[in-house]
Structure 1
Amino acid sequence: MRCRLRKCCCLISLRVGCMISALVLFFFELIAVPLRNATSCCDSFESVLLVVYRVLDMVHFIGALMLFVASFVKVSVLVLIFLITSCLHIALYPGFLVAEVLIWDADLIDISLSICGLLLGIYFWLVAYAFYYKCKEELMTDLPTVIIARKKESVVSAV
């Protein structure tokens, strides 16, 4: 993908944008509709769907935590974990949004928060994607200097 973001919101660096993204995603996961009072775990389609929904939310929360940590340490693997969990969340979330409307009788506030969270999640995925490649590029530019420094250390220690 040749066209990547250079900054988040035209003013903020990608690193800070990822920190803000992770914090906003934490907020959306914390205000998500709590577990409804399903009596048994797997006795109905609604209960199974609810369990899958909450597991997906927990996985996405862990991915957002990885993004927050990655914004401090600049490790591309942690950003990749977020990208995978966020992609899974974005792909499956419209189905859960339909379930909120049809099965769980969610009110307008829950639906609007879910739609805003989904749209922000898509934008945050793009920001994290750009940050992922920025971390990889920085690693590639720093790698030759590390190799040269190690070679110099080995020559000095051999003498």
Structure 2
Amino acid sequence: MKDRVLDLVFLVGVLFKGLDGLAELVTGVLLLFVTPAKLHQAAGAATAGERAEDPHDLIANLIVHGVAHLQHGSIVFAALYLLVHGVVKLAIVIALLIGSRGIYPWAMGALGAFLIFQVYELVTNPSIAVAILTVFDAIIIWLTWREWRRGRELRTTWRGTVAWVFRRRVAT
């Protein structure tokens, strides 16, 4: 049962990485066409309701304050980072879905490189979000290594896990 739960976590993690990669790709493209003033205006509009309810709302004020200090260069850097990160994640997920076992070492390497960057970010600019993402990525790397070591393709894991989940629901 432990193996099936880990398989399920791996599959959910891959799905999350794909959705996250798509969101990063879309956000990166949008950031290429947004000026700092428009971004500030959008942040103000998005948080206006919450700030009207609670002028001291931590998250809303962090968003507005963070966007207020953005320069064009930092927006371009963020856009390029998100584009590269999103493309790599989507490429990994697509290759896993196609069934290429050869992608596992590449996936672990790419995620490992992102993990190193995230650890650097944690040391230089600590944040709860980056800490959570780093732990999540470390777990996904370990699960990917586990899957690769077992010699299975994603679709094999998918079929076995889906069958296990539905058999389990019927039995309980």
Q: Deviations over 1:126-149 (max 9, x none)?
A: 111222334xx358xxxxxxxxxx
Alpha-carbon offset, residue 75 of structure 1: 0.4
Alpha-carbon offset, residue 100 of structure 1: 3.3
Preserved contact between residue 92 and residue 107 of structure 2 (Cα < 8 Å): yes
* Residues 84 and 62 of structure 1, relative CA distance in 2, 3 Å threshold: farther
* Residues 55 and 83 of structure 1, relative CA distance in 2, 3 Å threshold: farther
Aligned to 1:123, the other structure's residue is in SS state: helix
User: How far apart are the structure 1 equivalents of 2:149 and 2:143?
Assistant: 10
- Aligned partner of 2:88 in structure 1 is 63
More helix per residue: 1 or 2? Answer: 2
- TM-score, normalised to structure 1, is 0.50
- Aligned partner of 2:17 in structure 1 is 22
User: How far apart are the structure 2 equivalents of 1:116 and 1:27?
Assistant: 19
* Residue of 62, 75, 81 corresponding to 2:100: 75
- Aligned partner of 1:121 in structure 2 is 137
* Residues 66 and 127 of structure 1, relative CA distance in 2, 3 Å threshold: farther
User: How far apart are the structure 2 equivalents of 1:11 and 1:85?
Assistant: 21
Alpha-carbon offset, residue 11 of structure 1: 5.9
* Residues 12 and 138 of structure 1, relative CA distance in 2, 3 Å threshold: closer
Preserved contact between residue 66 and residue 78 of structure 1 (Cα < 8 Å): no
- Aligned partner of 1:97 in structure 2 is 122
User: How far apart are the structure 2 equivalents of 1:127 and 1:83?
Assistant: 10
Count of residue correspondences: 113
Question: What RMSD over aligned residues (CA atoms) do the two structures have, in Å?
Answer: 3.9
1:86 aligns with 2:119: no
Based on CA coordinates, which of the two structures has the bigger radius of gyration?
1
- Aligned partner of 1:12 in structure 2 is 8
Alpha-carbon offset, residue 58 of structure 1: 3.8
- Aligned partner of 2:40 in structure 1 is none
User: How far apart are the structure 2 equivalents of 1:22 and 1:69?
Assistant: 11
User: How far apart are the structure 2 equivalents of 1:73 and 1:133?
Assistant: 18
Preserved contact between residue 90 and residue 118 of structure 1 (Cα < 8 Å): yes
Preserved contact between residue 70 and residue 79 of structure 1 (Cα < 8 Å): no
* Residue of 58, 62, 70 corresponding to 1:37: 70
List gaps (5 residues or longer) in structure 2.
29-62, 154-172
- TM-score, normalised to structure 2, is 0.47
Identity of aligned residues (%): 7
Preserved contact between residue 108 and residue 144 of structure 2 (Cα < 8 Å): yes
